[in-house]
Chain A
């Protein structure tokens, strides 16, 4: 393992790997990524894989649009010999309450002002896109054909291999055990495999970001939340878009290989527990068959769980920590770390290198919570 590094990125998920690639490809030398377990072990490798531009805040719309444009060209950008399997089948958002219909109208207006090609649909029009959809109880839909989903494993692999080609080092099974701070500046990082001296760290540790921050004396206000998910057997393609309902609390998509992946948001307390439960399967089956009755004949193959790292306003935390010089934060994605990963890497690399950022990230700083300038996102499962 290296003894010194220009930057140590803590967390080998999509955010950490994308930041590493973007720093290394912009010429930063000695970029190190520390991953406490195997690559893919954290939240990225457990996610629902969606990528969308249909959001309810200007910030998320801007991030979503920019990240989608990177996903579209990612195989070429990263010179990936395989395929990240980015399928742009759109997202079909279903409103089941009057309040949601009003919110969707506002969202569409905002999205159009940002150049996002979303459209409002009647439930009957939605049947043209998803003929198998049970539209009973659905009041209205929105659809954006640019949204979609990608393979998180392949996307991580593409970033990891590109980062390595540009000279970055990725150490798996390497856990941070301590962080040295002197005179309010970062001095180095202790791990179970040795010590690396550095003046810069990036906390991209997802649900564990608060614990990593504490090692450096920095408050990182995220809390872990378990989200369960399941995958079915592969069947013939019947579903183009990701189906999503906020009030109905469900997302459901069909992979290019034919498997359905689906989940919903829990009402749970803060936890690092990622075990699977029977309750989840039962509720998931009710939800899935309610929107796609077809699903009742499809077999469940596997269930698992992962952690969201929730920020107080469910929006990312990007920028610097306030307490210690040399601590950068890329966390708080609140369930959207995978989709925002490509743009996160670009913005954080620009920020760390002192370049102007492609999109303004000053409003995403950690200080917003103390200032009371939270940016609540209304459209989250």
Chain B
């Protein structure tokens, strides 16, 4: 499988090729790569791609994954409709 067809971030359609290109450009922190490529900014909030990106970054920079700062986990834990937060259940059938 080619790198241009290997998906790292499924929500935002970020490929391995794109990740390698930004690392090559000198963006070597997870936080920077997240913000430039949107890897991990999609609806699943990086549940799959966070570890994949970490592994790729560790490999590319020859750094142990333990020594790489992982992006911040931000609330909410899962996507939630505004109506749910406001306490209304009238639109539940659309969920």
Residues of chain A at the chain B interface (Cβ within 8 Å): 38-41, 45, 153-154, 157, 161, 172, 233, 276, 281-282, 285-286, 288-289, 295-304
Contact = CB atoms under 8 A, between A and B. Distances in A.
29 contacts: A38-B31, A39-B27, A40-B35, A45-B35, A153-B35, A161-B25, A233-B79, A276-B74, A281-B75, A281-B76, A282-B86, A285-B82, A285-B85, A285-B86, A289-B82, A295-B82, A296-B83, A296-B86, A296-B91, A297-B82, A297-B83, A297-B91, A297-B94, A299-B79, A299-B80, A299-B81, A300-B82, A302-B45, A304-B74
Contacts of A295: 82
Contacts of B76: 281, 300, 302-303
A41 B27 CA distance: 13
Given A154-B36, A282-B86, 17 more contacts: A41-B31, A161-B25, A276-B75, A281-B85, A285-B86, A289-B83, A289-B86, A295-B82, A296-B82, A296-B86, A297-B83, A297-B91, A297-B94, A299-B79, A302-B75, A303-B74, A303-B75
Interface residues of B, number: 25
A301 B32 CA distance: 20
**B interface SS class:** loop
B32 A298 contact: no
Contacts of A297: 81-83, 91, 94
Nearest to B83: A296
B86 A302 contact: no
Interface of B: 25, 27, 29, 31-32, 35-36, 41-43, 45, 72, 74-76, 79-83, 85-86, 88, 91, 94
Contacts of B81: 296-300
B34 to A, nearest CB: 9
A39 B33 CA distance: 10
Nearest to A152: B35
Contacts of A282: 85-86
A41 B82 CA distance: 28
A112 B27 CA distance: 44
A302 B74 contact: yes
Nearest to A302: B74
A153 B88 contact: no
A284 to B, nearest CB: 8
B85 A38 contact: no
Contacts of A161: 25
A286 B91 CA distance: 16
A38 B75 contact: no
A266 B62 CA distance: 43
Contact of B32 (A38, A276, A288): A38
A349 to B, nearest CB: 24
